[in-house]
């Protein structure tokens, strides 16, 4: 475990992944701006896109999940696909480090990045939207402890599924060693599971989210198993 953590630390420094924090903050500002805009439109047009805090948190999670699944695909491209494209992965495999352990470290970074950014972003933006509504009084609802507890459970499980879903684009990217294919597949996937705000949205069905999350983990597992025999040339 210590060796794996060391590999993860080296990968983060090698690819300068701390620079992603800026991108995460920009993405959060865009999401917050869009959500505030919707609230202002509701106030001015006297319509009700969000009629409760449950609706607000649901809409927020849809955007956060979609954004960071796409982020995950970009990270997969940066950590894995690009190294196969440029053949620098062959140099890494010359080091006395098991291939499986190296790929495992990369995939864990992507998984944890997706999970943590979804959790942190959703909590931060949810708190900001609650504060904004406190002054605007747009949402005719009270935030209760029961609702907060329910939303935290949904957020934790949803972020876990989303982190697994974020690994699915690896399959498409590895087939052609294409970063574009990796990102495009994530956009298509996000569109399928996150389209619309109503309850019929595909991502609202627990069976779908769990299945897709498990598919993503299975793809990661099979990729790790195959790496010892794959031709990297």
CA dihedral 107, 67, 205, 125 (to 10 degrees): 110
Q: Which helix (H) or strand (E) holds 7?
A: helix 2-14
225: CB partners within 8 A, 6+ apart: 100
What is the C-alpha separation between 205 and 199, in angstroms, rounded?
Answer: 9
What is the C-alpha separation between 26 and 32, in angstroms, rounded?
Answer: 10
What's the confidence (pLDDT) of residue 91? 66
Locus of tokens 């630390």? 9
According to DSSP, residue 184 is labeled: H
- Which tokens go with 35? 């959500």
What is the C-alpha separation between 68 and 116, in angstroms, rounded?
Answer: 10
Locus of tokens 């949810």? 126
According to DSSP, residue 72 is labeled: H
What's the confidence (pLDDT) of residue 232? 47
What is the C-alpha separation between 36 and 42, in angstroms, rounded?
Answer: 10
- What averages of pLDDT result for each successive group of 10 residues across the chain (233 residues)? 82 84 94 88 66 86 95 93 79 71 92 97 95 81 88 95 96 90 94 71 82 95 80 48
The residue count of the chain comes to 233
Query: Tens digit of pLDDT for each residue in 50-88?
Result: 778 888 898 899 999 999 999 999 999 999 998 888 777
What value does the CA radius of gyration of the chain take, rounded to a whole number of Å? 19
Backbone angles phi, psi at 166, to 5 degrees: -65, -15
What's the confidence (pLDDT) of residue 98? 79
């Amino acid at each position: 475990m210590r060796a794996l953590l060391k590999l993860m630390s080296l990968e983060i420094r090698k690819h300068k992944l701390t620079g992603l924090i800026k991108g995460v903050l920009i993405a959060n500002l865009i999401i917050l701006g869009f959500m505030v805009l919707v609230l202002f439109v509701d106030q001015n047009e006297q319509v009700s896109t969000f009629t409760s805090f449950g609706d607000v948190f649901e809409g927020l999670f849809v955007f956060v999940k979609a954004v960071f699944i796409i982020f995950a695909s970009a990270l997969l491209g940066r950590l894995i696909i690009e190294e196969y494209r440029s053949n620098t992965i062959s140099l890494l495999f010359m080091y006395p480090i098991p291939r499986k352990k190296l790929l495992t470290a990369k995939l864990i970074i992507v998984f944890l990045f997706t999970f943590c950014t979804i959790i942190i972003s959703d909590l931060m933006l949810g708190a900001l939207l609650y504060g904004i509504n406190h002054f605007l009084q747009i949402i005719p609802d009270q935030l209760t402890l029961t609702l907060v507890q329910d939303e935290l459970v949904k957020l934790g499980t949803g972020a876990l599924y989303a982190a697994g879903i974020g690994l699915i684009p690896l399959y498409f990217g590895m087939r052609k060693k294409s970063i574009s294919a990796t990102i495009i597949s994530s956009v298509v996937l996000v569109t399928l599971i996150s389209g619309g705000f109503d309850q019929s949205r595909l991502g609202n069905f627990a069976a779908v989210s769990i299945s897709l999350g498990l598919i993503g983990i299975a793809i990661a597992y099979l990729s790790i198993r195959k790496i010892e025999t794959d031709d990297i040339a």
